[in-house]
A and B are shown apart, each in its own frame.
Chain A
């Protein structure tokens, strides 16, 4: 079973600040990693699926990098906006079984 850690647990930033958070997982057992954004009272929204060491993906002001050798992924948000306020979840897979193992998430609050 993968042990997934996300840090920090919560983050308060001012509008316009850039921010980043971390997802750590065992490097010895990796197949893919998913990032989701989950706003209160809505469905979790898929952001990225990452598979290759060194992958970097971007969606608007949000980007993510992956280091499978050391077992971490970073999520960056450039110029945070209040609408970015949400919980960001990462979920690595150790194999192709579809079983996402979710971290506890980073809760981001962006103050206007």
Chain B
């Protein structure tokens, strides 16, 4: 199956710093990439959807100025958590799809554990 990598797998940073997470589709072109977060004992929650070359679409309640998403190519999307605070500590995971909306498989990366001190 298609492979999606995510880097870093875990990161610890100080409050107020920014953290960038990369999501790459390794063997297919991802027209759409998705960013999710998961709080302890909760479901994966969609944060935003990004299409290559256009601005990301953010879900209600997700601050676009805080979570900057760039989808510069068909194989790379980045999520930057700006001015991170302890409440941003969470598990962030991306997925990528190259096909028909809704019925095509989303392929997931392994996720990034962010801890903000």
Contact = CB atoms under 8 A, between A and B. Distances in A.
A97 B101 contact: yes
A49 B101 contact: no
Contact of A46 (B46, B49, B105): B105
B104 interface: yes
Interface string A44-84: 11100101000000000000000000000000000000000
Given A89-B44, A98-B97, A104-B42, A34 B106 contact: yes
- Say what secondary structure dominates the interface of chain A: loop
Nearest to B44: A102
Interface in B20-42: 32, 34, 36, 42
Nearest to A47: B105
A34 B44 contact: no
Contacts of B111: 43
Contacts of A93: 102
Interface string A80-102: 00000000010001011111111
B109 A51 contact: no
Nearest to A6: B43
A32 B102 contact: yes
A103 B110 contact: no
A62 B16 CA distance: 46
A46 B44 contact: no
Taking each of A31, A44, A99, which has the highest tally of chain B beta carbons within 10 Å of its own beta carbon?
A44
A99 B106 contact: no
Contact of B103 (A45, A51, A104, A105): A51
Interface of A: 4, 31-32, 34, 36, 41-46, 49, 51, 89, 93, 95-105
Interface of B: 1, 4, 32, 34, 36, 42-46, 49, 93, 95, 97, 101-111
